Every structure is written in structure tokens, then in C-alpha cells.
Amino acid sequence: MVILTLPGADRGAYSNIRITTKARHSVRTESEFFAAEHLIVMDAAGTLDLSASKAALKKLTEDPEFDAKSEILMDLRDIDCVMTIADIFELANAMAWPNPTLPTFKKVAVLVSGSVEFDHAKFLALCASNRGLRIAAFDDYDKAGDWLVATLPADPKEECAVEFAITPALATRTLFAR
């Protein structure tokens, strides 16, 4: 909370004005750099607002391994987005040239889950691509990988289906092992 003290208009006395600001949302990011593939995969989780978005991009670009000649997959499937349309438009402006928050010369794929999040990602892509960034929105990991030139690693969020073959002999030994 911030308290500002301003002169009173009527008596020359001072009156206090309290201004409360919204609590900042937090987002956790983890980035993997695949130098041989010229690929950066940023995974994020938490609640995403405009300031958290800019902070996550700043954290990514300040990493010593960041390379502007790499493609980027922003995996935002575990994000709760609380940004307004105006926030998304401002983020798109911040991502674009001449002084970009995300300085890259390659493609950026934004991967989300959910229809509202996909609409937000498409709007971000539209606004940022109009400003020169090569960016697209996806709700499917494989489609994002097909659009990027780099080869993506296996989807870490895909459930692994493991099949076990049980033979009658194995079942008999297991039942009577006690």
C-alpha cells in the first residue's frame, strides 16, 4: 500500500490518500536450451498477468544461454491467464521491434490449453506478427513442432501409456508366491 500526503484544498491541512495496488501474480518458468537444434523450450506454470509475462520474458532473455537465433516454444499449458485484451496488446507491443522484450529472429510458438487461452494466444500472435515477430498460437504440441523448424523433444506433459504383458505362468507365480 502506498500513502500519499497532499495539501488539502480547503484548509491548508494535509489529507491522506491511500492507493492500493493489485498484488502481483507469480509465474514459475523453467527453460531448456537445445543448442544443437537452435531451440529454447520455456515451460511456465502459475498465474500470468502483464507484469509476470514481462518478467518471465526478461528472465528468459537474460539467461546466458539465450540465443536470438533460436526458435522458441513457450509452453503455457499450465498457466492461468488473467490478462485483459489491453494487457495482451501491450505485451505484443513490448515483444516487437525496435526494442523487443523477446529479441529473436526466429519463430516463436505459443502453446496453450483451453479455448479462452487459445483465443488470447491467437490475439497475441496477431498483434505481435503485425509488428514483425514470427509468432503463432497452438493448442497441440505436435502441431507446434511441425510449424517450428527445430525438432522438439518428446512432450513432457503427455501421459505415458505403459503396457504390461501378463502371461498365465507369471500370473500363477504371482498369485501363489505367498
Per-residue confidence (pLDDT) for residue 86, from 0 to 100: 96
Domain that holds residue 40: 27-147
What is the CATH number for 130? 3.30.750
> 98-117: per-residue pLDDT in tens?
778 888 889 999 999 999 99
> Does 19 reside within a domain?
no
> Does 92 reside within a domain?
yes
How many domains does the chain divide into?
Answer: 1
Beta strands in the chain (DSSP E): 2-7, 14-19, 27-34, 39-48, 71-81, 108-111, 135-138
Q: Whole-model pTM above 0.85?
A: no
Per-residue confidence (pLDDT) for residue 40, from 0 to 100: 94
> Does 9 reside within a domain?
no
> Does 22 reside within a domain?
no
> 48-94: per-residue pLDDT in tens?
999 999 999 999 999 999 999 999 999 999 999 999 999 999 999 99
Q: What number of other Cβ atoms are within 10 A of residue 31's Cβ?
A: 17
> Does 20 reside within a domain?
no
> Does 155 reside within a domain?
no
